[in-house]
């Protein structure tokens, strides 16, 4: 079964035909369930192979171009670093908005890196009486371990 059999071609082509900006195309392709499923169930090698098949032709049809964009957007459903690295395997310059799709992915993806900070909390020991104020100081010592 070919990759295009997994795509809802009517929705993909419609999104491409109505796109007047790369952002419009990116957002609408991301809302198509079959594009997401393609990204989650297909290897990078298969996506690149299909992309090359569609974009290396001298005469490309509307369907070829629309599917090529869907293949690029499919990888945006992967983990951020893996998807970002995958863009390097595609000849993005073959599509007018190929590099724009990558830039949009970078600028709109949430940061998923986790930074662990070790913190040492020091509470000053003070004796308070009923007449003392209740203000205190919390000191954070952020050290690199």
Report the range out of 10-14, 110-114, 136-140 with the highest average pLDDT: 10-14
Cβ atoms within 10 Å, residue 114 = 5
State the pTM of this model.
Answer: 0.75
SS3 103: helix
**Span 15-64, pLDDT tens digits:** 999 999 999 999 999 999 999 999 999 999 999 999 999 999 889 999 99
CA angle, corner 112, sides to 111 and 115, nearest 5?
100
Cβ atoms within 10 Å, residue 22 = 19
Domain spans in the chain, listed from the N-terminal domain onward: 3-108
């Amino acid at each position: 079964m070919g990759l295009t059999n997994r795509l809802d071609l009517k929705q993909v082509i419609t999104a491409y035909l109505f796109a007047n900006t790369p952002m419009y195309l990116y957002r609408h392709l991301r809302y198509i369930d079959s594009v997401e499923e393609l990204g989650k169930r297909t290897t990078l090698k298969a996506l690149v192979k299909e992309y090359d098949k569609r974009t290396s032709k001298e005469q490309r049809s509307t369907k070829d171009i629309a599917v090529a964009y869907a293949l690029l957007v499919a990888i945006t459903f992967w983990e951020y670093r893996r998807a970002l690295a995958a863009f390097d395997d595609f000849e993005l310059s073959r599509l007018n908005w190929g590099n724009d799709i990558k830039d949009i992915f970078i600028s709109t993806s949430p940061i998923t890196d986790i930074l662990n900070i070790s913190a040492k909390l020091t509470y000053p020991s003070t004796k308070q009486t009923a007449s003392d104020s209740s203000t205190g100081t919390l000191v954070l010592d952020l050290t690199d371990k």
